Amino acid sequence: MSETGNRLRKLLESPNFDPQNYVKQLSQQSDGDRDLQEHRQKIQNLADETAQNLKKNVYKNYRQFIETAKEISYLESEMYQLSHILTEQKSIMESITQALLSTDKDETSKEMQAAFPKETEEVKQRTLTSLLEKVEGGKNIMDTPGRHLIYNGDLVEFDVDNMSPIQKVHAFLMNDCLLIATWLPNRRGTVKYKYNNLYDLESFAVVNVKDNPPMKDMFKILMFPDSHIFQAENSKIKKEWLEILDETKKNKVTKDRHKKEEEIPASPARAEVSTNPFDEDNDKPADAEENADLSLEWIQELPEDLDVCIAQRDFEGAVDLLDKLNEYLKDQPVTQKVKELRSKVDNRVRQLTEVLVFELSPDRSLRGGPKATRRAVSQLIRLGQSTKACELFLKNRAAAVQTAVRQLRIEGATLLYIHKLCNIFFTSLLETAKEFEMDFAGNTGCYSAFVVWSRSTMRMFVDAFSKQVFDSKESLSTAAECVKVAKEHCQQLTEIGLDLTFTLQSFLVKDVKAALQSYKDIIIEATKHRNSEEMWRRMNLMTPEALAKLKDEMRSCGMASFEHYTGDDCWVNLSYTIVAFTKQMMSFLEEGLKLYSPELHMVLLESLREIILVAVQHVDYSVRCEQDPEKKTFILQNATFLHDTVLSVVERRFEEGVGKPAKQLQDLRKSTWPVRINPESTTSVV
């Protein structure tokens, strides 16, 4: 760049540059127009050079931006994996810590109960009584003897589906049940809550809900078939609720077991002589109990091994240990030691089931497709929970399909969106069906549940389909093409023996019927409008190309005899109204056949009949009213084309598309020729 250009650049880049003063000084110093033009050219050259440099910098930085974006994506993936690993490690450490401290807690609680048995019970009962006085409808809760308060606090209940807050509640945890009372905000006096629900501790399971800001400090209570989500004030209170609920449930199980054992009376020994020779084997119960060997090392360590497997998410290993134990105890007598071992193992089985249920819950990540659920489903089936596994698997897949459909962006043409929608939905349905058949191959009783689930998901698909195709008032041709695409995708399910075509048609019949009737009304109105302006003149297409194009259109409509109504020139011996009606009529018929289903047979047939009657009645009226012999002959020629060609093609094409003849169309064609003239009528039906 020249020295003048450098000075100009520095001047323009200076922070104190004032454009108005610069232009003023430049005008005063210039001798004429030429100086101003030269200076303008210099500024323009400087602007072009600056733009070029800026473009180069953009290209240079653009490459760096792409590389940086890739690195960020890689780092994000690695951070996600690291977070997942840390979460698993945290849960393992918490499980191990809880297992190590559980023994100390049990011993401490036993010492406290032994030291202050009566005082603790009385204080807890008095506390519960005073608290229940604040609950409307909770007076009968203390009727159960021995019931006392363990823990209580305020919670917020959330909706399970959309995670929105429902109401503020106060929870009372007792030694055998959980009371939920709703908060009365405008109530004065001692009563502040209203009785809502009372749940037995054995009727529900408690599951921790992973924090997902702003949704945090939550836990879920699972009760078949419902579930409830509650939010604590902070993470500390949430942890206390989870620990105390788990400990209280365990204490109740232990207490109930001891109570049942104490209720069994010890039968006195009777020395009776039996006359039955087959009773010899039944006289040795004491010896049989001694044969149940539970001193094996793997049996002694089985409860701890199950805890480790659950903490490490080694579900297969845990179920393998349970199968090994069941196989070993299958031929062993049911002794007291065996019952105690079974009780310990059953607690672990419940914990394992709760973890597997959480793995299949829709709250978990839905990535990975149906194969990602195979691990949890297979282990639940091995635990004898095939019904629960089936229910959770189908709920998980329904949430995944719904999420995929919602994430599909509505952009571009409707037909393109429907192609994407059908591809996502039916591919997901096919993959789910194959995975279901693989997972539940030995549980044929679950197949009916899958059929019911398929129907419900099809309803969800049809809602999204109809909203885009029919609610947006698309043309009948677009709607017909979209329905055709959906039916073709639905046929893919027949390869696994699942035919949902009838279900799809039954869900669409209402919208398709409305679309056919709406388009029928449009055709009738357009035909009446053309009839009102009819001059009964031959068509002049002006050019041979236009005539050839019309011949192709009529040939595609099935009008092979249309050639007889054309000559060597560009004239057509038919009126514009009849030709336009023919094309519109055949287009409606073809689109209607694409949408056809047995439920729509009469709808399509009556629509065709109403459209044809509008044209036939107009021709009938024109023949009666026309006085010019030449025009009357031309009208009769159009009537002949309408009767012999158009109606015949409509009748034949309908029979080909439907598979059976239409008697109504046959009767209509027979009744329209020869043209019936009513001398007393001079009113046109237009």
Judge contact between 605 and 664, C-beta under 8 A: yes
Amino acid at 453: W
What tokens appear for 61 in the block?
A: 């930085």
Q: Which residues contact 672 (CB under 8 A, 6 or more apart)?
A: 616, 642, 643, 647
Which residue ranges form the domains of the chain, and what is each CATH number?
1-73 (no CATH), 121-258 (2.30.29.30), 298-508 (no CATH), 536-672 (no CATH)
Question: What beta strand segments (E) does 22-109 contain?
Answer: none
Residue 566: DSSP 8-state: B
Contacts of 202 (CB under 8 A, 6+ apart): 249, 252, 253
**3-class secondary structure, 122:** helix
Give me the amino acid identity at 515: A
Distance CA 126, CA 85 (A): 47
How far is the C-alpha of 111 from the C-alpha of 117, rounded, in Å? 10
Interacting residues of 396 by C-beta distance below 8 A, sequence separation 6+:
360, 361, 362, 364, 366, 373
The Cα–Cα gap between 399 and 450 comes to: 15
339: CB partners within 8 A, 6+ apart = none
Are 4 and 10 contacting, i.e. CB atoms less than 8 angstroms apart?
Answer: no
- What is the Cα–Cα distance from 235 to 614, expressed in whole angstroms? 75
Q: According to the model, what pLDDT value does residue 685 have?
A: 36
Backbone angles phi, psi at 517, to 5 degrees: -65, -35
CB within 8 Å of 307: residues ≥ 6 apart: 95, 99, 348
pLDDT, residue 117, reads: 47
Task: Please answer whether residues 229 and 169 qualify as being in contact, where contact means their C-beta atoms are separated by less than 8 angstroms.
Answer: no
Secondary structure (3-state) at 100 = helix
Torsion of CA 657, 658, 661, 663, to 10 degrees: -110
What CA dihedral angle connects 641, 551, 529 and 620, to 10 degrees? -10
H or E stretch at 158: strand 149-158
CA distance 121 to 145: 11
The helix or strand, by DSSP H or E, that contains position 123, with its residue range, turns out to be helix 117-132
- Residue 248: closest CA among 190, 178, 185, 313: 178
CB 196 within 8 A of CB 180: yes
> 185 — phi, psi (to 5°)?
-70, -35
Q: Give the Cα separation of 611 and 519 in Å (integer).
A: 11
Residue 598 neighbours by CB distance under 10 Å: 10
Contact 379, 414 (CB under 8 A): no
Tokens standing for residue 53: 């440099």
What's residue 66's pLDDT?
A: 72
In this structure, how many other beta carbons lie within 10 angstroms of the beta carbon of residue 201?
20
In this predicted structure, what is the pLDDT of residue 155?
92
How would you classify the pairing of strands 177-183 and 165-174? antiparallel
Tokens 């105390």 belong to 244
Measure Cα distances from 299 to 286, 289, 303, 324, 333 in Å: 22, 17, 8, 10, 16
Decide: 415 and 482 in contact? Cβ < 8 Å: yes
CB-CB contact of 679 with 625 (8 Å)? no
Q: Which portions of the chain are predicted below pLDDT 70?
A: 1-3, 62-63, 70, 73-74, 77, 80, 84, 101-126, 188-189, 224-225, 263-293, 363-370, 411, 568, 672-686
Pair type for strands 135-136 and 193-200: parallel
Q: Residue 496: which residues within 8 A CB-CB, separation 6 or more?
A: 430, 433, 434, 437
- The 10s digit of each residue's pLDDT in 230-252 is 999 888 898 899 999 888 988 88
d(CA 442, CA 377): 13
**pLDDT value at residue 104:** 56
Beta-strand pair 226-231/205-209: unpaired
Are residues 249 and 201 in contact, defined by beta-carbon separation less than 8 angstroms? yes
Q: How far apart are the first and last CA of the chain?
A: 81
DSSP run (H or E) holding 165: strand 165-174
Helix (H) or strand (E) holding 169, with range, is strand 165-174
Which residues are paired to 603 by β-bridges? none
- Whether the model clears a pTM of 0.85, i.e. scores above it, the answer is no
369: left (phi over 0), alpha (psi -120 to 50) or beta: left
Phi/psi for 146 (5° steps) reads 85, -5
Q: Which two tokens stand for residue 81?
A: 């994996």
How many whole angstroms separate alpha carbon 466 and alpha carbon 479? Answer: 9
CA 668 – CA 587 distance, rounded (Å): 20
